[in-house]
Structure 1
Amino acid sequence: MRKRWGAAAVAVPLFMSLAGTAQAIPGPLYEYYNQTVGWAECPAGWVTPSTGVECATVIVPMDYQNPDNGNLEIAISRKKASDPVRRRGVLLTNPGGPGGSGLGAVHWFNAQTDVLKTYDVIGMDPRGVGRSTQLRCIATQTDDEFPSRPTNAQLSNWTEYYRSVEADCQRGGGEMRRFVSTMNTARDMDVIRGALGEKKISYVGYSYGTQLGAVFGSMFPKSLDRSVLDSALDPLKTWHEQDVDVVDAITDNLRKWTEWTAARNGTYGLGTTPAAVRGELDKIAALLKTGSYGGYEDVTSFDYAVGATRYRRSWAAFSRHIASIKAGVADPAEASAIVAALKKGDVEPTSPGTYQAVTCEWNWSTDVNTYYNDMKRWRDTNPYGGTVDYMAPTNCTFRAFERPEPIPAITRNYPAGVVVNSDGDTQTPLANGRVMAEHLNVPLINVQNDGQHGHYALRGNACVDALVTKYLVSGILPSSRVTCAGTDIAETVPPGEMVSREALRQHRPLSEILGEIAAEPKPF
């Protein structure tokens, strides 16, 4: 049973920043900020490997405006600074989501020895997630289809399904849903800071964790020291407005692959222009509308497979794959292996309920026809890569609860940090990172010609790692706009003679490359 703290247990108020300005912490919050953190060996399954990592729980109120209305537990992990003499504080991390478990993120920095000497690295399962008090949805069942090229009549399938998802999440989450939010997670972070006895925290956040970091800095500017926002969101757009940037990035990656492949027509024979290469995809898709072909069961699975063009290291193998289908020598098992590898490489499901609550902080249009019009536009112009699904309604279209508070205006009254984004990332496009960097007036590291998501300490990118580690350890910012070469590098394939049918069979299969990508660490 969780300990319940009430106002009667409180003695003296404590002054610190609660929402960006110095104010007295109300009595009920004093004990939260001053609780003792009992570090101990991590329970089985919390962090793997557990060697060198400690775990603890911190108590926070469910509702900060009414702290007597129940408490939640927040699970945290710690890898202590290896050089106590150099220690300068804690480095709190978040892997994104919303709803990603962050206890194991302490291991992402294993190769950054200077960071590990300098900081206690802190992982966290945010409220609603993992080993913290969970927010759950009741599972929604459906027999509807969600094809990549829906008919007009099928568009309502998304509406019916997500209306049910929202009702089931409300039934499963109850009152807690209203209080699982970016703002309350930011408040939890400040309670963790206080409970750890730190005047300030430094922070590395990935993906949605960049939104969380920006909100924390806006609410608690006096509590934030150094900050890194890797694969950043756009702080000035709603979640759905950024979905438009996502489908633009998917389309741009496909265009770049067609250009790369057209320049190597002598090798692949798929056309001398990007339009001709795209035309070969369209021919396969047309055949799949009438039945299985090239190992694919239907056009939806093929459209999904084209999403592999996000990764530059897959370009040559994908071109060979399409050429083998055109030549009639494709391995029937390869198509299903490609789709399976891509699904495995997708962002792992976040905590059931948290994603569906936090993304509803933004106001979503309730007019389903606006979604249908966008879905039809992408269906008719570029359905490859699953673009239509990004334009569809979600459970937030039918939000069943009132937001307790709006997302605060994103401001920066704390030291300058660093933003990192890549130009091929389809989860947090470069356009989003540019706006985050410009709005906060901080340096942007652009990882060039790279489709990966999350970079610092994850990709072995010496340029990114050196710049960010130097900033975290020494406080030295990179130049205002820096370009680092990506590690997602296309295979060297000079224009040449057409590869033989036998050679198409013998090359390394695309599914193997995608399987390796799927196994790599990644933020949510």
Structure 2
Amino acid sequence: MSRLAAEGRPRGVLLAVNGGPGGNEGMGRRAPLRFADSPLRSAYDLVGVDLRGTGGSSPVHCEVTTPTVPFDSRTPDSSFAGLWADARASEAGCARAGGVERRHIGTVSVARDLDRVRAALGERKLNLIGYAYGSYVAAVYGTLFPHRLDRSVLDSVRHPDWTWRQQFMAQAVAIRENVGDWARWAGRRDGTLGLGGSERRVMATVERTAAELAERPVNGMNRTAFDATVGSLANDRTRWADLAALVASLAAGDAPSARVAAAAA
């Protein structure tokens, strides 16, 4: 745990909760340093905590298991039995390595830990900022301790009523919509980008390129890596030109240009 005092008269403490779950993303107990130069410091004592089971808070580990089915963004039905077996093996390895402590790692426990932090700091109420999974922690804290929550900011929100599978399925829909938006944008610029004059034609270029990469990867980029790159860059409008350049070079079989475009992406 860490604490950075406010530069002015504090209106309370602000505790940042990182995503993951279990990820750091520069947060955890290092969160105060991330916000040290922001206006937040003029109003709040900044507090960071390594959540239960992570970082310096008795981290929980998993055994590394070797998957039998290679990761594929377009997994065929024939692979699902192997994926199921791999998932069970991974879970068993985590159970062995985590031991009895693993049964006590969960969001409700984390929320209760944060309330103990509040009490230890002598604060009547807590302010929270949560990113991704951290938004779920903040929502659970507000549900368990509504009278002890002052203000909260939820960024990249995880739906509190969904399972992670539902969350990822919804994200997949949004990613596909972003790819469609990019394809329409590229279609209107066929004269300069050369990917096709409509969304349908641009997507045909993308699919044709993906099929070729499945057979013959270029500069280490196979179909799975290509799919991931398209989905990632389509989410950011400032990177649409980079994505178009990458697709164009791969579609043309221009390995040197593809290498440059991939580096930029």
Q: TM-score, normalised by structure 2?
A: 0.92
The residue number in structure 1 matching 2:35 is 109
Matched residue of 2:128: which SS? strand
Q: Does 1:192 align with 2:117?
A: yes
The residue number in structure 2 matching 1:440 is none
Pairs within 5 Å for 1:252-291:
252-291=177-216
Query: Is the 2:250–2:258 contact (alpha carbons within 8 Å) kept by the matching residues of 1?
Result: no
Tell me, which stretches of 5 or more residues in structure 2 are unaligned? Answer: none
Higher RCO (Cα < 8 Å, 6 or more apart):
1
Q: Does 1:300 align with 2:219?
A: no
> 1:333 deviation in Å?
6.5
The residue number in structure 2 matching 1:348 is none
* Per-residue Cα deviation, 1:405-459 (whole angstroms, up to 9, x for no partner): xxxxxxxxxxxxxxxxxxxxxxxxxxxxxxxxxxxxxxxxxxxxxxxxxxxxxxx
The residue number in structure 2 matching 1:312 is 237
Query: Is the 2:68–2:86 contact (alpha carbons within 8 Å) kept by the matching residues of 1?
Result: no
Q: Does 1:98 align with 2:24?
A: no
* Per-residue Cα deviation, 1:264-322 (whole angstroms, up to 9, x for no partner): 11111111110000000111122233333x54553223222222222222210211222
Against the structure 1 CA distance between its residues 297 and 121, is the aligned structure 2 distance closer, same or farther, given a 3 Å change threshold? closer
Pairs within 5 Å for 1:463-478:
none
Pairs within 5 Å for 1:368-383:
none
Against the structure 1 CA distance between its residues 332 and 316, is the aligned structure 2 distance closer, same or farther, given a 3 Å change threshold? closer
Matched residue of 2:15: which SS? strand
Pairs within 5 Å for 1:400-415:
none
> Which of 120, 129, 145 is 1:220 aligned to?
145
The residue number in structure 2 matching 1:3 is none
Matched residue of 1:204: which SS? strand
Query: Is the 2:249–2:258 contact (alpha carbons within 8 Å) kept by the matching residues of 1?
Result: no
Cα RMSD after superposing both structures: 1.8
* Structure exhibiting the larger radius of gyration computed from Cα positions: 1
Letter of the 2:227 partner, please give it. D
Q: TM-score, normalised by structure 1?
A: 0.48
Letter of the 2:199 partner, please give it. P
Q: Percent identity?
A: 38
Q: Does 1:248 align with 2:149?
A: no
* Structure 2 CA distance for aligned equivalents of residues 100 and 150 of structure 1: 26
The residue number in structure 2 matching 1:509 is 261
Tell me, which stretches of 5 or more residues in structure 1 are unaligned? Answer: 1-75, 335-507, 515-524
* Structure 2 CA distance for aligned equivalents of residues 324 and 511 of structure 1: 13
* Per-residue Cα deviation, 1:362-410 (whole angstroms, up to 9, x for no partner): xxxxxxxxxxxxxxxxxxxxxxxxxxxxxxxxxxxxxxxxxxxxxxxxx
Matched residue of 1:92: which SS? strand
Q: Does 1:123 align with 2:48?
A: yes
